[in-house]
């Protein structure tokens, strides 16, 4: 595959989930039986990325430990004949080569991506924002990589959102060039209500060009006083040094960056799991009858 590395910005403090995130990385919160991060890592792996780069910060030790070997636990499971669980533990620690770099200051998503430069420079690489969890037949990152392989350049995932929601996202100005594929000419991070150039929002999947690094390095702060990734991609789109494409992804998205979104994702995924579905229906039926 043309894209071998995938960067995960995971330095965020997770203040929306305090106090649970005081010690635990928000990416380790469970979505049914797996931590949020493993959905993103599996997606990267199933999209052909063999190396994962996690840009971490303080209180993220649990992430490193999760993907590490756990000899004591493995021995215990083996000695008790719990072979399925033993295999599962080995599979998690072997899923990919995972490298960790530290974002020392919370200066924004663009800055987090720049922290990955020592590992990702000189090649196209994927970016997954793990708060956006996608359930799809074909991994969403792979849908983007296919367009990159065919048309070249930078690619972002797009979703059409309602006009009231445009101020929460990066919004593009684009033209559809084939069904579900847009050429992007401009973009704006979190436009003020009523000023968005379209209803197409960037969702947390990207194929980025190595051209992004010098742009990010020289970039001023943008929306929210942060160094924004959207502003750097916009420079590539506006100058046309190389094309920027948007792919209206096929799949379901769960925004696990908020308590409501995380809870809905758990309920939805539990309803998708035959052994758990009835638990939800029984509770709802009982509470409705009260
Ligand atoms: C980030 C990006 C934004 C994008 C969003 C998708 O925003 O800056 O362009 O639309 O992710 O989830 P954040 O959610 O970090 O505020």
Distance, CA of 179 to CA of 251 (rounded, Å): 15
User: Could you count the other beta carbons within 10 Å of the beta carbon of residue 62?
Assistant: 14
The predicted structure's pLDDT at residue 1? 54
Distance, CA of 228 to CA of 39 (rounded, Å): 25
DSSP per-residue string spanning 36-89? HHHHHHHHHHHTT--EEEEEE-TT-HHHHHHTS--HHHHHHHHHTT-HHHHHHH
The predicted structure's pLDDT at residue 58? 83
DSSP per-residue string spanning 131-168? TEEEE-SS-HHHHHHHHHHHH-SEEEEEEE--GGGGGG
Q: Which residues line ligand 1 (CB under 6 A)?
A: 109, 129, 132, 169-170, 189, 201-204, 228-230
The gap between the terminal CA atoms of the chain, to the nearest Å, is 56
**Cα 105 to ligand 1 centroid, rounded to whole Å:** 18
**Cα 171 to ligand 1 centroid, rounded to whole Å:** 10
- Which atom of ligand 1 lies nearest, measured to the CA of 230? 9
Q: How far is CA 152 from CA 4, 49, 147, in A?
A: 15, 17, 7
**Cα 223 to ligand 1 centroid, rounded to whole Å:** 11
The predicted structure's pLDDT at residue 220? 92
- Which atom of ligand 1 lies nearest, measured to the CA of 202? 10
The predicted structure's pLDDT at residue 232? 98
- Which atom of ligand 1 lies nearest, measured to the CA of 187? 9
Going by alpha carbons, the residue nearest to atom 15 of ligand 1 is: 109
For tokens 């030790």, the residue is 61
For tokens 């996608």, the residue is 134
- Which atom of ligand 1 lies nearest, measured to the CA of 224? 16
Pocket of ligand 1, candidates 108, 109, 184, 255: which has the most ligand atoms within 8 Å of its Cβ, to mutate? 109
For residue 24 the two structure tokens come to: 């635990």
For residue 144 the two structure tokens come to: 């983007």
What parts of the chain have a pLDDT lower than 70?
Answer: 1
For residue 120 the two structure tokens come to: 């990702």
State pLDDT tens for residues 76-129. 999 999 999 999 999 999 999 999 999 999 899 999 999 999 999 999 999 999
State pLDDT tens for residues 207-236. 999 999 999 999 999 999 999 999 999 999
The predicted structure's pLDDT at residue 205? 98
Pocket of ligand 1, candidates 157, 170, 197: which has the most ligand atoms within 8 Å of its Cβ, to mutate? 170
The predicted structure's pLDDT at residue 47? 97
Task: Report the relative pairing of strands 125-128 and 200-208 from DSSP bridges.
Answer: antiparallel
- Predicted TM-score (pTM) of the model is 0.95
Helix, strand or coil, per DSSP, at residue 99:
strand
Distance, CA of 188 to CA of 234 (rounded, Å): 8
């Amino acid at each position: 595959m043309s894209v071998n590395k995938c960067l995960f910005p995971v330095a965020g403090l997770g203040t929306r989930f305090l106090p649970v995130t005081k010690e635990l990385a928000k990416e380790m919160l469970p979505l049914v039986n797996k931590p949020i991060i493993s959905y993103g890592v599996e997606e990267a792996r199933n999209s052909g990325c063999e190396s994962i780069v996690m840009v971490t910060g303080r209180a993220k030790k649990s992430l490193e430990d999760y993907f590490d070997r756990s000899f004591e636990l493995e021995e215990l499971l083996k000695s008790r004949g719990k072979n399925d669980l033993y295999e599962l533990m080995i599979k998690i620690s072997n899923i990919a080569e995972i490298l960790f770099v530290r974002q020392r200051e919370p200066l924004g998503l663009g800055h987090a991506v720049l922290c990955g430069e020592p590992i990702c420079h000189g090649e196209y690489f994927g970016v997954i924002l793990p708060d956006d969890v996608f359930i799809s037949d074909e991994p969403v990152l792979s849908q983007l990589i296919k367009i990159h392989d065919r048309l070249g350049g930078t690619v972002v995932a797009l979703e059409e959102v309602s006009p009231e929601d445009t101020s929460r996202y990066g919004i593009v100005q684009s033209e559809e060039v084939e069904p579900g594929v847009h050429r992007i000419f401009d973009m704006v991070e979190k436009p003020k209500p009523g000023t968005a150039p379209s209803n197409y929002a960037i969702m947390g999947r990207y194929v980025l060009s190595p051209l992004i690094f010098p742009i990010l390095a020289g970039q001023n702060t943008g929306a929210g006083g942060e160094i924004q990734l959207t502003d750097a991609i916009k420079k590539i789109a506006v100058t046309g040094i190389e094309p920027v494409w948007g792919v209206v992804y096929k799949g379901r998205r769960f925004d696990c960056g908020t308590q409501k979104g995380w809870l809905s994702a758990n309920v939805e995924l539990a309803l998708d799991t035959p052994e758990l579905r009835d638990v939800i229906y029984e509770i709802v039926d009982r509470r409705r009858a009260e």
